[in-house]
Amino acid sequence: MQSFTYDQPATRVVFGAGAFDRLADEVKHLGGKRALVLCGPDGVIRPENLPPDVLRPARPRYQLPVDVSRPLTEQLTELTAAFEERYLRRALKRTRAHIGRTARLTGLSRRTITEKLALYQIDKNDFKKD
């Protein structure tokens, strides 16, 4: 059996021929949960067989605004607050708004969670339905 060949970033891995029995271990090693295996008629997948978007690194889903006319500390405060609110909303959704589980998930205290819900005007009842 041939060894694995990593020709792409860690999210794009090319395996050597005959290495299928090691696929699960390698996917787990890379932190993945699933793998999609494709093969051409000759049994070999080459970079030229893949679409261009697979070969280039993925772009971030959103761009952070940069305004050099404003102080960096002011912008960092706004970005941190926006990220913190999104993070809390996602944690609340995952725990169905259970404050104790949300605290454990986020590493914050129950009191801090409650304070941040008030700060960002988040109604935990909105997350109990899902």
pLDDT in tens, 42-75: 767 677 666 666 566 666 666 777 899 999 999 9
Collect the ranges in the chain with pLDDT lower than 50.
1
Based on DSSP, count helices (H) and strands (E) in the chain, helices before strands: 5, 0
Are 4 and 54 found together in one domain?
Answer: yes
Specify if 64 maps to a domain: no
Full residue range of the structural domain in which residue 107 is found: 72-127
What is the structure's pLDDT at 42?
72
What is the structure's pLDDT at 1?
42
What is the structure's pLDDT at 115?
97
Are 55 and 76 found together in one domain?
Answer: no
Nearest to 20 by CA among 32, 7, 6, 37: 37
Specify if 97 maps to a domain: yes
